């Protein structure tokens, strides 16, 4: 609040001095003293002040790292290296990377000043990392002999603390290499959470040492019967570090108590003993009789659940073992416990289950994050719920003070088409698909108690990396701006012009994006 006020006062004061605060590119060209080209930045920064002229950066520069800020230092040096810009202590142009806690731009904010030098300042290494990403977008991707940087002062900070991308690695398995690529890509757009949907009916993707068959058996297939796969704990430890160096937190999801067929196939005793004699209420016709204890390669949802009603000791012991190991691997404040779509015999036991699992999460010193249906349980007010059905009544949770991660399916479910009728895409939430403009039109400010926004890429219909790229990009860039930039700073036409110009950056990252006509990428 105070920060917003300070920013507001600063903006007011600067506007009064005749400085330029309008970020609409067409306005910008008119109002600025020089004919600067509109900046191609996504997400749009909070405040851009244009100054006269350009700074010419040559093939060398004097890099001055003032403090111990390893992640932004690494990112800056990698950027310079990619452009073949050498460090030279005697160069007349310097790039300063420095901590400054007087900026009033929060933990993630930064200032990027380009005058006769380039000065990146922030209160944290994270803020500096974002300053580097902005600089990266201002520079081309190909090395040249001279770079013309517009003189300016950018002061920037995100509106929301949670800016997420979810990958469903359970329905189809994705390699560690792909996850690393994805981290590098979303980092350019200042996204800061990578939510891994690690378990579902079709696959259990994380090694659990106390229940080893979860991964070796539960991870041995995927939708349509591929070989599946799982991540070892060591690989995930390494990925946690890799993500952290990109200011991205991995959020592990163990989907409970439903979406657990892979676990049940590995350990049949987790299901109710009578399960093979009953038909799940949601009529997944392909899962009856012995199939209710077997691996599953189809795409029906809601038929599986752990048997809390008859075997509470076994089930809660299992959950505790799993979450203890998960908490050991992932340092995140929040553990995602799933909680969606329990549509079988265990529906009645669901609220009490959620209450108990929140208690287990608390005993591990963590907070609970769960899909919206978990509002049926008595969970702590410090929990987060992930809102996914556009019209879900979440008021009981809001009254408790619980905050929301917004993933309303008709705006953020990227397994839906980039356009109406895209082959292979899901349509259940929005028949016309979810085009870029639709994603961009989400207004998080219209919801209450929002911590941020997350796009979900479910993978029942996403069998490979290229399809995942096509579904995620360029729409994740829209998610980034919706989560980072305030509503008065968002404008779809301006966004498309800015993003359109960043195509070379996406190409450089090897992204096989959908060639969105509205960006002129056909």
Contact set with ligand TNX (CB under 6 A): 301, 340-341, 371, 388, 413, 415, 426, 458, 460
Of 40, 24, 39, the closest CA to residue 519 belongs to 40
1, 189, 191, 206 from 183: Cα distances, Å:
31, 10, 9, 18
CA angle 483, 489, 495 (to 5 degrees): 80
426 vs 513 by CB, closer to ligand TNX: 426
Question: Whose Cβ is closer to ligand TNX: residue 249's or residue 340's?
Answer: 340
Residue closer to ligand TNX by CB (options 460, 491) is: 460
CB of 433 to ligand TNX, least distance (A): 12
CB of 434 to ligand TNX, least distance (A): 11
Q: Which lies closer to ligand TNX via its Cβ, residue 230 or residue 458?
A: 458
Q: Are strands 403-406 and 450-457 parallel, antiparallel or unpaired?
A: parallel
Burial 161-189 (b: 16+ CB within 10 A, else e): ebbbbbbbbbbbbbeeebbebbbebbbbb
The minimum distance between CB 259 and ligand TNX, in angstroms, equals 6
Q: Which is nearer to ligand TNX, 426 or 495 (CB)?
A: 426
DSSP 8-33: HHHHHHHHHTT------HHHHHHHSS
Minimum gap (Å) between residue 175 Cβ and ligand TNX: 20
Q: Is 357 exposed, middle or buried (0-12, 13-18, 19+ CB in 10 A)?
A: buried
Nearer to ligand TNX by C-beta: 98 or 464?
A: 464
Counting Cβ atoms within 10 Å, is residue 419 exposed (0-12), middle (13-18) or buried (19+)? middle
Kindly give the residue spans of alpha helices, DSSP state H, lying in 195-279. 213-216, 233-245, 261-266
| Pick 47 or 514: Cβ nearer ligand TNX | 514
Shortest distance in whole angstroms from residue 251 CB to ligand TNX: 14
Give the H/E segment covering residue 488: none
Residue 318 or 458 having the CB closest to ligand TNX:
458
34: left (phi over 0), alpha (psi -120 to 50) or beta: beta
Find residue 47's DSSP bridge partners. Answer: 155
Rounded to a whole number of angstroms, the minimum distance from the CB of residue 242 to ligand TNX is: 26
The string of DSSP letters for 321-334 reads HHHHHHHHH---SE
Kindly state the smallest distance separating residue 359's Cβ from ligand TNX, in Å. Answer: 22
Q: How far is the CB of 409 from ligand TNX (least distance, A)?
A: 7
């Amino acid at each position: 609040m105070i920060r917003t006020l300070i920013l507001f006062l600063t903006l007011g004061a600067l506007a009064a001095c005749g400085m330029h605060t309008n970020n609409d590119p067409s306005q910008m060209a008119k109002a600025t003293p020089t004919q600067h080209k509109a900046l191609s930045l996504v997400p749009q920064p909070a405040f851009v002040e244009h100054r006269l002229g350009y700074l010419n950066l040559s093939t060398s520069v004097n890099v001055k790292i003032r403090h111990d800020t390893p992640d932004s230092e690494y990112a800056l040096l990698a950027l310079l290296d990619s452009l073949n810009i050498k460090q030279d202590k005697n160069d007349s142009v310097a790039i300063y990377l420095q901590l400054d806690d007087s900026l009033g731009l929060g933990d993630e904010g930064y200032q990027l000043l380009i005058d006769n030098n380039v000065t990146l300042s922030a209160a944290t290494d994270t803020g500096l990392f974002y300053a580097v990403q902005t600089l990266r977008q201002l520079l081309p991707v190909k090395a040249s002999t001279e770079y013309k940087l517009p003189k300016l002062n950018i002061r920037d900070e995100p509106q929301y603390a949670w800016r997420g991308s979810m990958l469903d690695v359970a329905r189809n398995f994705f390699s560690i290499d792909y996850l690393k690529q994805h981290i590098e890509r979303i980092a350019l757009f200042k996204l800061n959470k990578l939510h891994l949907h690690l378990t579902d009916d079709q696959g259990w993707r994380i090694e659990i040492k106390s229940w080893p068959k979860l991964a070796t058996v539960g991870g041995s297939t995927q939708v349509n019967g591929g070989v599946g796969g799982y991540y070892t704990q060591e690989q995930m430890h390494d990925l946690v570090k890799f993500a952290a160096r990109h200011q991205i937190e991995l959020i592990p999801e163990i989907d409970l108590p439903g979406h657990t067929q892979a676990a049940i196939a590995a350990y049949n005793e987790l299901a109710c003993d009578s399960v093979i004699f009953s038909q799940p209420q949601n009529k997944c016709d392909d899962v009856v009789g012995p199939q209710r204890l077997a691996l599953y390669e189809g795409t029906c949802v809601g038929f599986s659940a752990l048997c809390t009603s008859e075997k509470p000791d076994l089930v809660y012991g299992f959950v505790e073992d799993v979450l203890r190991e998960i908490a050991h691997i992932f340092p995140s404040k929040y553990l995602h416990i799933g909680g969606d779509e329990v549509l079988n015999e265990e529906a009645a036991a669901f609220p009490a289950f959620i209450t108990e699992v929140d208690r287990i999460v608390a005993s591990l010193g963590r907070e609970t994050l769960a899909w919206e249906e978990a509002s049926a349980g008595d969970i702590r007010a410090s929990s987060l719920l992930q809102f996914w059905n556009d019209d879900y009544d979440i008021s009981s949770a809001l009254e408790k003070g619980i905050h929301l991660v917004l993933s309303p399916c008709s705006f953020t479910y990227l397994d839906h088409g980039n356009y109406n009728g895209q082959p292979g895409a899901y349509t259940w939430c929005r028949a016309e698909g979810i085009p870029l403009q639709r994603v961009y039109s989400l207004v998080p400010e219209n919801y209450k108690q929002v911590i941020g926004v997350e796009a979900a890429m479910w993978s029942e219909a996403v069998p490979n990396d290229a399809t995942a790229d096509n579904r995620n990009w360029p729409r994740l860039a829209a998610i980034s701006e919706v989560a980072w930039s305030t509503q008065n700073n968002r404008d779809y036409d301006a966004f498309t012009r800015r993003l359109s110009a960043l195509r070379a950056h996406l190409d450089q990252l090897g992204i096989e994006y959908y060639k969105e006509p509205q960006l002129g990428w056909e």
